[in-house]
Chains A and B, each alone.
Chain A
Amino acid sequence: MIDRFHKFSYFPGCSLATTAKENNRSLHIFFERHDITLNELDDWNCCGSSSAHSVDHDLADWLPTRNLSLAPIGSPLLVACPNCYHRLKLSHMMLANSETARQQYEAMWGRAFDPDLEIVTFFELISEMADKGAFKDHKTGLKGLKVAPYYGCMLSRPPAMRHEKNFYGLMEKLLTSLGAETLRWNSSSRCCGTMLTASRPDIASRTIENIISEAECAKAECIVTACAMCHMNLEIRSKLPGKTPIFHFSELLSLSLGIGSGMGWFRRHLIDPRPLLRSKRLIP
Chain B
Amino acid sequence: MKTNEAVKNINTNSFTKMDKDYARFAVEVIRRSGVNIHRCWHCKACAGGCSFSKDMDYLPNQVIRLVQIGMKEEVLKSSAIWICVGCQTCSTQCPQSIDMAAVMDSLRQTAIKEGVKVAEPHILNFHKEVMNSIQRHGRTHKLEIMMRYKLSKKDWFADLDVGLKMLLKRKLDLMPSRVGHQAEIRRLFKLSRENNHD
Contacts and interface: CB of A to CB of B under 8 A. Distances in A.
Interface residues of B, number: 66
Interface in B114-153: 120, 122-128, 130-131, 134, 138-142, 145-146, 149
A170 interface: no
B101 interface: yes
A158 interface: yes
Contacts of A236: 162, 165-166
Contacts of B159: 201
Interface stretch (A30-38, A44-52, A215-223, A242-250): A44-52
Contacts of A59: 131, 134, 188-189, 192
A270 B169 contact: yes
B139 A17 contact: yes
Contact of B184 (A20, A66, A189, A193): A66
Greatest chain B CB density within 10 A among A51, A57, A200 is at A51
Greatest chain B CB density within 10 A among A43, A198, A200, A207 is at A198
B105 to A, nearest CB: 5
B5 interface: no
Nearest to B153: A199
Given A55-B128, A63-B134, A19 B142 contact: yes
A173 interface: no
Contacts of B126: 51, 195, 198-199
Greatest chain B CB density within 10 A among A14, A157, A193 is at A14
Interface string B37-70: 0000000000000011001000000000000000
Nearest to A97: B1
Nearest to A104: B191
Contact of A14 (B83, B139, B146, B181): B139
Given A51-B127, A159-B97, A193 B51 contact: yes
A55 B109 contact: yes
Interface in A254-270: 268-270
Nearest to B137: A46
B142 A18 contact: yes
B102 interface: yes
A55 B165 contact: no
A199 B91 CA distance: 23
B52 A158 contact: no
Nearest to B91: A158
Given A18-B173, A56-B192, 13 more contacts: A14-B177, A50-B86, A51-B130, A52-B131, A53-B86, A54-B127, A55-B124, A62-B191, A62-B192, A108-B187, A191-B51, A196-B52, A198-B149
Closest 4 CB pairs of A and B: A153-B87, A51-B130, A191-B87, A156-B88
Interface of A: 14, 17-21, 43-46, 48-60, 62-63, 66, 86, 97, 108-109, 152-153, 155-160, 162, 189-191, 193-196, 198-201, 203, 207, 232, 236-237, 268-270
19 contacts: A14-B177, A18-B177, A44-B179, A52-B134, A53-B101, A55-B109, A55-B127, A57-B105, A57-B106, A62-B191, A62-B192, A86-B88, A152-B87, A158-B88, A162-B97, A189-B89, A196-B123, A268-B169, A270-B171
Interface of B: 1, 32, 51-52, 55, 83, 85-89, 91-92, 94, 97-99, 101-102, 105-106, 108-109, 112, 120, 122-128, 130-131, 134, 138-142, 145-146, 149, 158-159, 162, 165-166, 169-173, 177, 179-181, 184-185, 187-189, 191-192, 195-196
